[in-house]
A and B are shown apart, each in its own frame.
Chain A
Amino acid sequence: MAERKRLLELRGVAKSFGGLACLHDLDLHVDEGEIVSVIGPNGAGKTTLFNVITGVYPPDGGEILLDGESLVGLEPHQVTNRGVARTFQTLRLFLNMSVRENVMAVQYGRTKATVLESMLRLPRARREDREIRRRAEEKLSFFGQRLVGYRWDQPAYSLSYANRRRLEIARAMATEPRILLLDEPAAGMNPSETHEITELIGKLRAEGGYTILVIEHDMHVVEGISDRVVALDHGVKIAEGTFDAVATDPRVIEAYLGLQKAKTK
Chain B
Amino acid sequence: MSEGLRPDQPRIGVDEWVSSVEEKREQYRGPVGWLRRRWDEAPPWARVLVFFVPAAIFPLVTTEGNLFRYGLITLIYALLGLGLNVTVGFAGLLDLGYIAFFGFGAYTYGFLASGHSGRHWVAELAIPVAIAVAALVGLIVGFPSRRLVGDYLAIVTLFFGQAFVVFVNNANRIDFPFIGHTDLTGGSNGLDNIDPLNVFGWLVNTTKEYYWFTLGAFTLVMVLLYFISESRTGRAWKALREDPLAAEVMSMPVNRLKLLAFIFGAAVAGFAGAIYGAVQTGAFPGDFDVGLLITVYAIVILGGAGSLAGVIIGALVVNGVPELLRDPNEAEWVFYTAIVLLVFVKLRPWRRLAVVALGTLALGFVLHALADGVWERGTSGSAGEGALAHWVSHWMLLPSHPTQFGNWGFALLIAAILVLTLIHGWWRTILMIPTIWLAAFAWENLLVQQTAGATRFLLLGALLVVLMNARPQGLFGTARVEIV
Contact = CB atoms under 8 A, between A and B. Distances in A.
Chains A and B form a bound pair: yes
Contacts, number: 151
B289 to A, nearest CB: 31
Q: How large is the interface on A (under 10, 10 to 19, 20 to 34, 35 or more residues)?
A: 35 or more
A107 B231 CA distance: 11
B272 to A, nearest CB: 17
Among B234, B250, B480, the most chain A Cβ lie within 10 Å of the Cβ of B250
8 nearest A-B pairs in the assembled complex, by CB-CB distance = A109-B251, A118-B231, A160-B15, A145-B2, A94-B242, A92-B246, A105-B235, A106-B250
A107 B250 CA distance: 8
A69 interface: no
Interface stretch (A24-32, A189-197, A228-236, A244-252): A189-197
A97 B249 contact: no
Interface in B406-462: none
A73 B105 CA distance: 40
Interface string A127-161: 01100100000000001111000010011011110
Interface in A75-103: 75-77, 80-81, 85-86, 88, 91-97, 101
Given A95-B242, A144-B1, A159-B18, A105 B231 contact: no
Contact of B252 (A54, A108, A200): A108
Contacts of B227: 118-121
Interface residues of B, number: 43
B235 A108 contact: yes
9 contacts: A77-B250, A80-B249, A94-B239, A132-B232, A144-B2, A158-B21, A172-B250, A175-B251, A196-B1
A219 interface: no
B1 A203 contact: yes
Nearest to A177: B251
B13 A118 contact: no
Contact of A75 (B13, B224, B247, B248): B248
A203 B2 CA distance: 12
A118 B233 contact: yes
Interface string B240-267: 0011011111111110000010001000
Contacts of B374: none
Contacts of A110: 251
Interface string B1-33: 111010000101111011001000000000000
B255 to A, nearest CB: 8
A31 to B, nearest CB: 24
A101 B1 CA distance: 24
Contacts of A93: 242-243, 246
Interface of A: 54, 56, 75-77, 80-81, 85-86, 88, 91-97, 101, 104-111, 113, 115, 118-121, 125, 128-129, 132, 143-146, 151, 154-155, 157-160, 162-163, 171-172, 175, 190, 192-193, 196, 199-200, 203
Contacts of B13: 146, 160, 162-163, 193
Nearest to A166: B13
A4 B232 CA distance: 37
A199 B478 CA distance: 37
Among B3, B232, B481, the most chain A Cβ lie within 10 Å of the Cβ of B232
A13 to B, nearest CB: 18
B249 A54 contact: yes
A108 B246 contact: no
B61 interface: no
A200 B13 CA distance: 15
Contacts of B238: 94, 96-97, 101, 105
Contacts of A108: 232, 235-236, 250-252
A77 B231 contact: no
A158 B236 CA distance: 21
A104 B251 contact: no
Nearest to B17: A158
Contact of A92 (B17, B228, B245, B482): B245
A171 B230 CA distance: 18
Contacts of B14: 160
Contacts of A56: 245, 248-249
A182 B448 CA distance: 66
Contacts of B478: 96, 155
B147 to A, nearest CB: 12
Interface string B204-246: 0000000000000000000010011011111110110011011
Given A95-B242, A95-B481, A199-B1, A109 B231 contact: no
Contacts of B249: 54, 56, 76-77, 80, 86
A128 B236 CA distance: 15
A119 B478 CA distance: 24
A155 B233 CA distance: 19
A81 B251 contact: yes
Nearest to A111: B232
A180 to B, nearest CB: 13
A77 B246 CA distance: 10
A119 to B, nearest CB: 5
Given A93-B246, A96-B238, 4 more contacts: A85-B250, A94-B243, A97-B242, A160-B15
A190 B251 CA distance: 31
